[in-house]
Structure 1
Amino acid sequence: MVAGLGFVALSFLLLAAHALRGGDSGLCVFLLGSALLAFSRERWAGNVCGVLLGCGALLWLDKGTGLISLRIFTGGDWVRLAVIIGALFALTVFSAAYCFSPSGRERYNRSTENANYRSVIFLLSALLLETARAKVSFPILLADRFFPGWGRAEIFLLAFYGSWVGSKMFTPEGTPKIRSRIWAFFSVVFFGQLVLGLTGLDQFLMTGKLHLPIPALIVAGPVYRGSGFFMPVLFTVSVLLVGPAWCSYLCYIGAWDDYCSRRGNKKPAKDFNPRLVWVRLLLLIVVAGIAWKMRVIGISPVVAVWAAAQFGLISVVVMLVFSREMGMMVHCSTFCPMGIVSNLLGKLSPWRLKIANTCCKCMKCTNTCRYGALKPENIKAGRPGISCTLCGDCIPSCKGGSLGYKLPLLSPDISRKVFLTVVISLHTLFLGVARI
């Protein structure tokens, strides 16, 4: 067992040395972090190390064949190089196999219940962040902006953070305790970067071109400008992946409404009229119409920004007054135009929240829903109302297990874990790349 761990650590160190020799400091740190991860006893860490070493073996194979071909082409000695590369490849493959072998499973034997999901969160988060880093034409990660070439070091930290969040949220009571905290953390990071950018630290801004951080501008901005469809595309893709959970996990403003609704520990108002959620559709039409009219008649950007700012101020007032007073997310469920887009477009995603026919109508879930989606008529119908954002806060309140996520062909428990795996990975991605 000790020898196997030594081979795993040595494999990572050799890969880190190769990365450092190639001038990739960030990848070197990522691999050194992975070497430290190998000394953990948790099963998810063993899974991650095994997969990463499998990728490392492919790296040796790719680099080795290229170098050997070059030696053969130039007439140089390639046999010794082939032996060295072959040894490195064999060592890395053996180390990867050890992580999944009976001996490896004996070593990595802690926290096995949700280990596979935590492993996927780490790997998926790293893959999404690496893809964003590779595809965007400018440094998208803060580490690359302040320390060029160190982006993969940040990717390791963010992926580790994502796995840690998973360990907290996979527990039965985890979602209502942790979701609002990581959501608030994302909002603080998002707006903190905006504040630092406004003080003159341009590295904290996406491109240096400012726009108001108001969700309604995801639609109104491109309508007014006639261009700049990055945010609508990102919003649409996110909603197709996780449904209306964009509103309860990924929206930078929604965390404010969540905080206001929880002030004073008030239970959600029972006299909330579910029909009010459709006011957002009218507001969406009005906002888009005004933006289009401003473009047609040639309203200056200064006036357009001023008008958008007024809408943003009204949003804040709604949160501070109505959400706080009613113990509900009034802004998100009745005022935000993008909320209704998320709810309707989310119908195209596979995720659903279902109420089984075993429901005893105790109404405890109603007291936890701050979106007004679990009224008596919704429970009778067996599904939440249109304002549901799949936040999951209501699920632990159902002691009979009649309320849960539903994905085709999967049980509610597995559906919930798959859903959390995807949404936590997206949260990690947004934490790393989302900024003004």
Structure 2
Amino acid sequence: MTSPTSPLRTTLRTFGALTLPTLSCLLLAAHYLRSGDLGMVAVCLALPGLFFLRQAWVRPVLQAAFAAGMAVWVLAMMDLIQFRQVVGLPWLRLALILGSVAMVTGSGALFFETRVLRERFRRRPEAALVQAGAFLLTVCALVLAQAKVSFPILLADRFFPGFGVLQILGMGLYAAWIAGKLTDPERAPLVRARMWLFFSLVFFGQLALGLAGWERFLMTGDLHLPVPALILAGPIYRGEGIFMLTLFLSTVLLVGPAWCSHLCYIGAWDHQAALRTKRPQGLPSWAFPARLSIFALVMVTALGLRLMGVHWTWAVTLAAGFGLVGVGIMAAISRKVGVMAHCTVFCPIGLAAVALGRLLPWRLRINRDCDACGRCARVCRYGALEPEHLVNRKPGLSCTLCGDCIHRCRDGRLTYGFARLSSVASHQLFVLLISTLHAVFLATARI
């Protein structure tokens, strides 16, 4: 029989096991307070809040945090020892004190290997690796961006200098949360649509605030048209300004054509328009030739404008007109046929994404035992799963790895594939990368 006091004993053991990690957080907060880094003080004081979460991913994240805290103390100790040696002051006692503090902080990571804390953080262990990876990758990417970019790339740093690290912590938690949702096969399609739309709302919301006169919401303080075609056409016309192009190519390198189904600030609206029709129609036979022609026309036009020395106002007018035509296609065609006509036919960057994606290992795999029942085609808004595609066991060029079909297939005959990885490992890697990219883009979503 279970002892009636066992819950109390468990609580006391948990409290005892978390005492040293909590003390380590307070010591780190005091260290940063002494150096005047209030942002890191806030982060150190916020870390114990993760103790109240019960998900399995929290444990490795906290272990990494305490290992990093130990490194902070070791570096501080070495700097102070070097300083005291230079000025001829004794340093042994300082080394013993700070070395002990470093060991205490580092031992906080070991405490999370105890049975009582392993039992505490045990919810959804199947998603722990993906969620912890999304948190850590997001934090590392944003810390690197914050350190390397010459201007405040995070909004928190623009309005509250020094508190960008608190925003980084929040984005890491958000990435872990999103990754957990995307690993749930029943909820993944809805979550993808909502997070994608949320990103677009934030992107255009900050654009609206920038246009209203709050220039801090614009990344460089200058306004650029949010037309995806300009990612390619803009540098061709200007002969410079390849930041967005580099960002786009880096994204394609990581997740293939998933830019178009998870990260494009315009595509989210085409998706919402297509959802107005429950059952999508197939793409016409002329869709790909038209897509290729539009791509060539846009690139040739950009080059021609540059060679003829056309004033930038004309180029901007043409770009704005092209963008408005795209909006019209969403409203008039995507809503009617249930297929994302803007993304699959009209958008040049969409063609570039899916074409370059074919050079990478990411694939949507249609297993040999697929019976072509068509359930997947009824949710594909990209026209990539027509009967001939299912028969040939190869999705169409317009596939963007959105994953909606994977979760609709009742027999698991559609899966993500990456090189020689298993379908499960490929799915986890994809969710890890796309969750990280989404969180990083959201944190820096400014024109």
Range into which the TM-score falls when normalised by the shorter chain: over 0.9
Q: Which runs of 5+ in 2 are unaligned?
A: 1-13
Letter in 1 for 2:81: I
Task: Assess if the C-alpha contact under 8 Å between 2:229 and 2:349 holds in 1.
Answer: yes
Matched, 1:422 2:446: no
CA distance in 2, matches of 1:278, 1:10: 65
SS in 2 for 1:249: helix
Show the counterpart of 2:322: 311
CA distance in 1, matches of 2:147, 2:293: 40
Matched, 1:61 2:74: yes
Matches within 5 A, 1:198-237: 198-237=211-250
The Cα shift of 1:347 comes to: 1.8
SS in 2 for 1:348: coil
The Cα shift of 1:50 comes to: 0.5
Matched, 1:297 2:319: no
Given the superposition, is the C-alpha separation of residues 117 and 100 from structure 1 closer, same or farther in structure 2, using an over 3 Å criterion? Answer: farther
Given the superposition, is the C-alpha separation of residues 66 and 183 from structure 1 closer, same or farther in structure 2, using an over 3 Å criterion? Answer: same
With the length of structure 1 as denominator, give the TM-score of the two structures: 0.97
Letter in 2 for 1:191: F
Return 289-298 or 143-152, whichever deviates more: 289-298
Matched, 1:267 2:279: yes
The Cα shift of 1:189 comes to: 0.3
CA distance in 1, matches of 2:289, 2:262: 22
Show the counterpart of 2:3: none
The Cα shift of 1:348 comes to: 2.6
CA distance in 2, matches of 1:30, 1:328: 45
Matched, 1:70 2:83: yes
Show the counterpart of 1:286: 297
Matches within 5 A, 1:314-325: 314-325=325-336
The Cα shift of 1:73 comes to: 2.2
Task: Assess if the C-alpha contact under 8 Å between 2:202 and 2:445 holds in 1.
Answer: no
Matched, 1:432 2:443: yes
SS in 2 for 1:404: strand
CA distance in 1, matches of 2:17, 2:414: 45
CA distance in 2, matches of 1:10, 1:432: 31
Letter in 2 for 1:385: G
Given the superposition, is the C-alpha separation of residues 217 and 87 from structure 1 closer, same or farther in structure 2, using an over 3 Å criterion? Answer: same
Identify which of 39, 47, 66 aligns with 1:26.
39
Return 391-400 or 107-116, whichever deviates more: 107-116
CA distance in 1, matches of 2:361, 2:30: 44
The Cα shift of 1:408 comes to: 2.6
Task: Assess if the C-alpha contact under 8 Å between 1:5 and 1:39 holds in 2.
Answer: no
Matches within 5 A, 1:103-114: 103-114=116-127
SS in 2 for 1:373: coil
With the length of structure 2 as denominator, give the TM-score of the two structures: 0.95
SS in 1 for 2:124: coil
Matched, 1:370 2:390: no
Identify which of 200, 204, 229 aligns with 1:187.
200
The Cα shift of 1:126 comes to: 0.7
The Cα shift of 1:152 comes to: 0.5
SS in 2 for 1:113: helix
CA distance in 2, matches of 1:166, 1:140: 24
CA-to-aligned-CA distance 1:349-385 (integer Å, 9 cap, x gap): 2211100011121110010100000011111111211
The Cα shift of 1:413 comes to: 1.8
CA distance in 1, matches of 2:20, 2:63: 12
Letter in 1 for 2:405: C
The Cα shift of 1:285 comes to: 1.4
Matches within 5 A, 1:41-56: 41-56=54-69
Matched, 1:385 2:396: yes
Show the counterpart of 1:248: 261
CA distance in 1, matches of 2:423, 2:97: 50
The Cα shift of 1:418 comes to: 1.1
Percent identity of the aligned residues?
46
Matches within 5 A, 1:154-169: 154-169=167-182
Matched, 1:86 2:107: no
Show the counterpart of 2:150: 137
Count of residue correspondences = 434
Task: Assess if the C-alpha contact under 8 Å between 2:77 and 2:98 holds in 1.
Answer: yes
Show the counterpart of 2:22: 9
CA distance in 2, matches of 1:254, 1:274: 22
CA distance in 2, matches of 1:365, 1:428: 28
The Cα shift of 1:31 comes to: 2.2
CA distance in 2, matches of 1:161, 1:301: 40
SS in 2 for 1:385: coil
Show the counterpart of 2:343: 332
The Cα shift of 1:274 comes to: 5.2
Q: Which runs of 5+ in 1 are unaligned?
A: none
The Cα shift of 1:278 comes to: 4.1
Task: Assess if the C-alpha contact under 8 Å between 1:121 and 1:166 holds in 2.
Answer: yes
Task: Assess if the C-alpha contact under 8 Å between 1:30 and 1:153 holds in 2.
Answer: yes
The Cα shift of 1:103 comes to: 3.6
Task: Assess if the C-alpha contact under 8 Å between 2:367 and 2:393 holds in 1.
Answer: yes
Task: Assess if the C-alpha contact under 8 Å between 2:236 and 2:302 holds in 1.
Answer: yes
CA distance in 2, matches of 1:69, 1:128: 31
Task: Assess if the C-alpha contact under 8 Å between 1:240 and 1:348 holds in 2.
Answer: no
CA distance in 2, matches of 1:219, 1:353: 26
SS in 2 for 1:353: strand
CA distance in 2, matches of 1:224, 1:151: 35
The Cα shift of 1:30 comes to: 2.1
**CA RMSD after TM alignment:** 1.3
Task: Assess if the C-alpha contact under 8 Å between 2:130 and 2:180 holds in 1.
Answer: no
SS in 2 for 1:430: helix
Show the counterpart of 2:6: none
CA distance in 1, matches of 2:256, 2:157: 31
CA distance in 2, matches of 1:425, 1:406: 19
SS in 2 for 1:38: helix
SS in 2 for 1:367: coil
CA-to-aligned-CA distance 1:41-79 (integer Å, 9 cap, x gap): 221111110011111111111111111121122221312
Letter in 1 for 2:441: F
